[in-house]
Amino acid sequence: MKALKSLLVAGLALASSLAALADTSAQNWLESYYLNPRPAELTRSVRELSRSGWLDQSGHTALTIGFLGSVFAQNPQRVDGWVKDLADLPRAHRSLVASAVWQSGHPSGAALLRDLSANSSMRAEIEKLVAQPTTPALNTPVLSPSSMNLQWGAFLASGNERHVVAILDAMGADRPGLDIAARQSLAVNAVAHPRVMEICRVQLDRQPESVRAEIRAALKAAGTKPGV
């Protein structure tokens, strides 16, 4: 029951975030990035999200890592400058940036992070981070609300259907409560993003029946007619 409650809380946190799409210009930048990539605004937007407390909200840690990790992977030549520009963020938010750099698979990620943390209190944390294998979001299975939010963050950065499919793959995997949380997040995102709606409709013909039922439920909750 505790695990189910955590799943639902995480889903509601993500729903609240996406329902308030235009609360701030930085939030709008992040949540519509895949429609109009503007990497030049990354430093300003991350700073605004940090100041506003958005980065500290429940569910946003994994979402931010998934998002920034994908943007970093798309723009490897800009990562060094971005990380240096954000070096004065609060420690918790610098940790998010560091985790995103590591997950992006940046070829010089370990050296970059070690250099920036050499004389800081984050040195031990960075050493522990770079000792772990790098796993891109696309290769991260959805096993929990956190890994599901990681996929949503990566989707917001790219619009890649594979991140949504990864969430669908987790449905019917016999993980208590995950189907409910995934259905809820699909419904919320289908309302906020026509791209998610389109992906769900296409996947109705490709997923096993147990997953199709969950997709239909999500589309129904989004106020649509699944057409099947």
The pLDDT tens digits for 175-184 are 777 878 888 8
Residues 124 and 194 in one domain: no
Residue 3: pLDDT over 60: no
Residues 112 and 192 in one domain: no
Residue 65 placed within a domain = yes
Angstrom distance (rounded) from CA 209 to CA 188: 22
Query: What percent of the chain is modeled with pLDDT above 70?
Result: 87
Which pLDDT score, from 0 to 100, does residue 209 have? Answer: 87
Which pLDDT score, from 0 to 100, does residue 191 have? Answer: 92
Which pLDDT score, from 0 to 100, does residue 18 have? Answer: 46
Residues 132 and 155 in one domain: no
3-state helix, strand, coil in the chain (%, to 5): 75, 0, 25
Residues 131 and 152 in one domain: no
Residue 40 placed within a domain = yes
Q: Which of 82, 107, 137 is the last residue of a domain?
A: 137
Residues 96 and 150 in one domain: no
Residues 131 and 193 in one domain: no
Which pLDDT score, from 0 to 100, does residue 167 have? Answer: 93
Give me the domain span that covers residue 79. 22-137
Q: Which of 137, 153, 172 is the last residue of a domain?
A: 137
Residue 217 placed within a domain = yes
Residue 203 placed within a domain = yes
pTM: 0.85
CA distances from 123 to 119, 130, 131, 134 (A): 7, 11, 12, 18
Residue 178 placed within a domain = yes
CA distances from 68 to 2, 58, 156 (A): 30, 17, 10
Residues 127 and 164 in one domain: no
Three-state secondary-structure class, residue 175: coil
DSSP per-residue string spanning 4-26: HHHHHHHHHHHHHHHHTTTSSHH
DSSP per-residue string spanning 190-209: HHH-HHHHHHHHHHTTTS-H
Q: pLDDT of 74-122, one tens digit each?
A: 999 999 999 999 999 999 999 999 999 999 999 999 999 998 888 788 9
Residue 12: pLDDT over 80: no
Residue 124 placed within a domain = yes
Which pLDDT score, from 0 to 100, does residue 224 have? Answer: 58
Q: Which of 77, 107, 137 is the last residue of a domain?
A: 137
Residue 131: pLDDT over 60: yes
Residues 30 and 94 in one domain: yes
Residues 34 and 133 in one domain: yes
Residue 6 placed within a domain = no
Residues 93 and 199 in one domain: no
Sign, CA dihedral 181-187-193-198, equals positive
CB 47 within 8 A of CB 89: yes
Q: pLDDT of 160-211, one tens digit each?
A: 999 999 999 888 677 777 878 888 899 999 999 999 999 999 999 898 888 8
- What pLDDT band is residue 19 in, cutting at 50, 70 and 90? very low
User: What is the rounded average pLDDT for all residues in the chain?
Assistant: 87
Total of domains in the chain: 2
